[in-house]
Amino acid sequence: MCGIVGYLGDRIAREALIDGLRRLEYRGYDSAGAAFHDGDRFSVARETGRVENLAGALRESDPQSTLGIAHTRWATHGAVTVANTHPHLSHDGKIALVHNGVIENFADLKRFLMRKGVEFSSETDSEVLCNLIAHHYAKLEGEENRLLEALRKALARCRGAYGIAVLCADQPGLMLGARRGSPLLVGLGEGETFLASDASAFVGRVRDAVYLNDGEIAVLQEDGFRILTMEGEDAQAVTQTIDQTVEDVELGDFESYMEKEIYEQPTALENSILGRFGEDGTTAKLGGLEGHEDTLRQLDRIVFVACGTARHACMVGEYLIERLARVPVEVEHASEFRYRNSPKAGHTMVIAASQSGETLDTLEAVREARIKGLLTIGITNGVGSSLARETDGGVYQRVGPEIGVASTKAFTSQVALCGMLGLALGRMRGLSPMQGREIAEALQALPAQVSSILQHGEALRELAQKYSEAEHLLFLGRQELYPVALEGALKLKEISYAHAEGYPAAELKHGPIALINPECPCIFVVEDGELAGKTIANMQEVKARKGPVLAIAPEAVAIPDEAADDIFRIPSSHDITRPILATIPLQLFAYHFARIRGLDVDKPRNLAKSVTVE
């Protein structure tokens, strides 16, 4: 959730570290700090609030060191204070550390260290780890690879998750990193090396990176780097090219990353589906599933595991895959699946979705599935991510970096890929070539249809203006549009802090209708076909109780004047693609709703982009 940047090179570290932290702001944070190797000591600056506060402090102190580590913190242990802000120094000033994750047994370790006379200045588990490394470092005086051995001994005593960068005052040309459950990678540049929790931190500065696996240590020195196991043995360092560009992570002409990413969706969807259809145009061809065809034909059950927005995409996928492939599908909260003793039923496949590929609960759910011998498939945007490495196969989303905390283009891409998976499975299990071609053509028409909706952004801004004073809103839809209603509600509450809830439209009479009044707008996502009439009847029930109604409806659906106050039209389309088309107006509505309220849509309070802790 937090952000780590470390720099070792032949240039002043300050600029690279601050630039890296700015690139990591999207992950969510509440304070920031940096430590620089300064002779035989460290110079440290820490500030609560935005990275710009830290940048101002460093401009005044002007550190000239070429070795440093920096961090953006999202509070877990301890309040948002300067004392709790990273980097932390050990009590003897020998060790500087930044840490993502949670050390679960930090209280026991802290008591042990306090008995040794260690004094603490913060409430964090991270300072405990820093002092534990210093404790072992002091005991290893005179030994070769002293800092590395101290780190290994300290980590051996820790339970929980971590991604860390460590410096030692005695060793000006050395930086160590280690990971377990929290992402960390080494960026390889000309005359400089980076350590970071996300490749965005060094985009434009390096082209190649090495992703650490769980249980590995990175040793960065002026003459190169090594990757080791926790036992101290050499590990294979697989170099990957970073495909992001500076343009990918810059705002350009947009006012926010969320707005930029909403408007990038035609291109993102085109990239997601490009080259993924069979030569005859009747099926989807997903390279990450190759080699598993026999298992896929025999499937008795599919279980999706995901969190938040990704779970909503999987819920749409449940409807699509069951309809196309006639395979029973379940969607689990990853955080629940990992602790359940879910029965193993026949041939089961587990599909995990995570934009970053580093969501801890989703990764743990995958690990649990693999223990049970189940086929695991990942859907992720994170090339080289833990999810990509730990599943048996999978599909990359290829939508480019998603910086905004509130996911937009990653959601629609995940839904499109679920549709393609449903098409591929359906063709294996009885879907006719004619039906397959119809679905493939519908998916290929998506980018142009999304573009046509985005051209009406001003109309959605006006609708958001009309309803912007509402503090309670309901979002309702049926079948595959029910998860779209959930996602619309989530987007609104994430960035505007208004209370919003999503429900199946037919559930209106089973409780939520008690909330209807003139101050509680209802946003209906309307189906095509016979179900449209049932949803319109629900709208009329709301109107009868003086509730405002906004309908998102296909062009071909006739809606009586008395059933809605406002109607926003989307293109009529195939059932398989309608969930994506219906999502676009809800994203824009939420975006303008929050902007009209004067809120920062890219950095909503209390939220982080990638949740890498429990």
pLDDT tens per residue, range 416-449? 999 999 999 999 988 999 999 999 999 999 999 9
The Cα 149–Cα 123 span in angstroms is: 26
Same CATH topology for 3-248 and 251-444? no
CB 394 within 8 A of CB 379: yes
CB 547 within 8 A of CB 517: yes
The Cα 439–Cα 282 span in angstroms is: 8
Going by DSSP bridges, is the β-strand pair 88-89/67-73 parallel, antiparallel, or unpaired?
unpaired
First to last CA, the chain: 10
pLDDT score of 598 more than 90: yes
Q: What is the pLDDT of residue 325?
A: 93
User: For the ranges 276-285, 457-466, 488-497, which has the lowest average pLDDT?
Assistant: 276-285
CATH number, domain 3-248, options 3.90.1310.10, 3.60.20.10, 3.40.50.10800, 3.20.80.10: 3.60.20.10
- Mean pLDDT calculated for residue range 192-201: 91
Would you place residue 450 in the very low, low, confident or very high pLDDT band (cuts 50, 70, 90)? very high
pLDDT score of 27 more than 80: no
Backbone angles phi, psi at 370, to 5 degrees: -70, -35
- In terms of phi and psi (left: phi > 0; alpha: psi -120 to 50; beta: otherwise), the region of 13 is alpha
Tracing tokens 């101002």 back to the chain, one arrives at 56
CB 321 within 8 A of CB 579: no
CB 378 within 8 A of CB 420: no
The Cα 485–Cα 493 span in angstroms is: 12
Per-residue pLDDT tens digits for 51-62: 999 999 999 888
Query: Average pLDDT of the chain?
Result: 92
- Mean pLDDT calculated for residue range 330-355: 87
Would you place residue 391 in the very low, low, confident or very high pLDDT band (cuts 50, 70, 90)? very high
CB 604 within 8 A of CB 406: yes
- In terms of phi and psi (left: phi > 0; alpha: psi -120 to 50; beta: otherwise), the region of 347 is beta
Element (H, E) at 354: strand 348-354
pLDDT score of 154 more than 90: yes
Q: What is the pLDDT of residue 614?
A: 61
- Mean pLDDT calculated for residue range 116-142: 94
Q: Domain 457-599 - what CATH class?
A: alpha beta
pLDDT score of 378 more than 90: yes
Give the E-state strand segments of 431-509 in sequence order. Answer: 472-477, 499-504
Would you place residue 246 in the very low, low, confident or very high pLDDT band (cuts 50, 70, 90)? low
Per-residue pLDDT tens digits for 313-339: 999 999 999 999 999 999 999 999 888
CATH number, domain 251-444, options 3.40.50.10490, 3.40.50.150, 1.10.3720.10, 3.40.50.1000: 3.40.50.10490
Active site residue 168: no
Active site residue 609: yes
Q: What is the pLDDT of residue 477?
A: 96
pTM, to two decimals: 0.83
Q: Which two tokens stand for residue 506?
A: 């037919």
pLDDT score of 113 more than 60: yes
pLDDT score of 127 more than 60: yes
Q: Write down the domain spans for the chain.
A: 3-248, 251-444, 457-599
Would you place residue 158 in the very low, low, confident or very high pLDDT band (cuts 50, 70, 90)? very high
Would you place residue 612 in the very low, low, confident or very high pLDDT band (cuts 50, 70, 90)? low
- Between helix 578-596 and helix 409-428 the angle, nearest 10°, is 170
pLDDT score of 1 more than 60: no
Would you place residue 607 in the very low, low, confident or very high pLDDT band (cuts 50, 70, 90)? confident
pLDDT score of 99 more than 90: yes
Q: Which two tokens stand for residue 429?
A: 């299990």
pLDDT score of 247 more than 70: no
Q: What is the pLDDT of residue 216?
A: 94
Calculate what percentage of the chain has a pLDDT beyond 70. Answer: 97
- Mean pLDDT calculated for residue range 557-582: 94
**What is the amino acid identity at position 271?**
N
Using alpha carbons, list the distances in angstroms from residue 535 to 286, 548, 560: 35, 15, 12
Q: What is the pLDDT of residue 6?
A: 96
pLDDT score of 609 more than 80: no
Highest mean pLDDT among 285-289, 372-376, 381-385, 449-453: 449-453
Q: Which of 2, 130, 307, 314 is catalytic?
A: 2
**What is the amino acid identity at position 473?**
L
Q: Which of 110, 409, 543, 609 is catalytic?
A: 609
Q: Which two tokens stand for residue 33?
A: 């700090």
What are the beta bridge partners of residue 500? 473
Q: Over 190-246, what HEC string results?
A: CCEEEEECCHHHHECCECEEEECCCCEEEEEECCEEEEEECCCCECCCCEEECCCCC
Q: What is the pLDDT of residue 415?
A: 97
The Cα 500–Cα 411 span in angstroms is: 19
Q: What is the pLDDT of residue 365?
A: 93
Q: What is the pLDDT of residue 467?
A: 97
CB 184 within 8 A of CB 195: yes
The Cα 354–Cα 610 span in angstroms is: 9
Q: Which two tokens stand for residue 439?
A: 């679905």
